Structure 1
Amino acid sequence: GGVAFLNALPGLEKVELANGDEQTGVRILRRALEEPLRRIATNAGQDGSVVVQKVMSLKKGQGYDAATDSYGDMIALGIIDPAKVTKAALENAVSIAGMVLTTNVLVTDAPDDNRPNAGVTADMGMY
């Protein structure tokens, strides 16, 4: 997973930036696009930045299999990273972020102190 986002990174090089704010936005987006794969690798006990750099140097269609700590053809490894779904998720996240940045007030639920602890989840490094 995460390879579809990495494949989008070259598109950021083509964006014409008018000012420093836009450059900052592209830097934030670049880091955000790398983060899913970085997190997958970190959760598998690997250095996420090293895995991201390695995958970026691979041919299109190749990626990282965290279960076996190996690199290869994603389809042959049985890993499907659907670009259409990934694109929709990114578009929605950017839309929400833009709305939050232009909103003066955000409303959220107050923390519920009586809610039971969720316990250990899969993304906490426990296997």
Structure 2
Amino acid sequence: MAAKEVKFGREARERLLRGVDILANAVKVTLGPKGRNVVIDKSFGAPRITKDGVSVAKEIELEDKFENMGAQCCVKWLRKPMTLQVMEQQQLLF
């Protein structure tokens, strides 16, 4: 069994926040009536074009383990409107 990597304090918070930022930045461009399209490329099939923030969020998987944890925590919050998630991103900064 592999040892677990444990982070505390500022470093842990910064890495989690980077994941939240990556997810929020990808999703927030889809918000509102002037929301922009996002292209989702999968390992199989043709790329998919969407303006659905939930679909964009569910497809994000980051290489860094802690950044991915931050992003995946946001995906769990998908029951909330996307606008609230962007607001939560701002609250994590403080």
Looking at both structures, which has the greater relative contact order when contacts are Cα pairs under 8 Å and sequence separation is at least 6?
A: 2
Tell me the TM-score normalised to structure 2 length.
0.32
Tell me the TM-score normalised to structure 1 length.
0.27
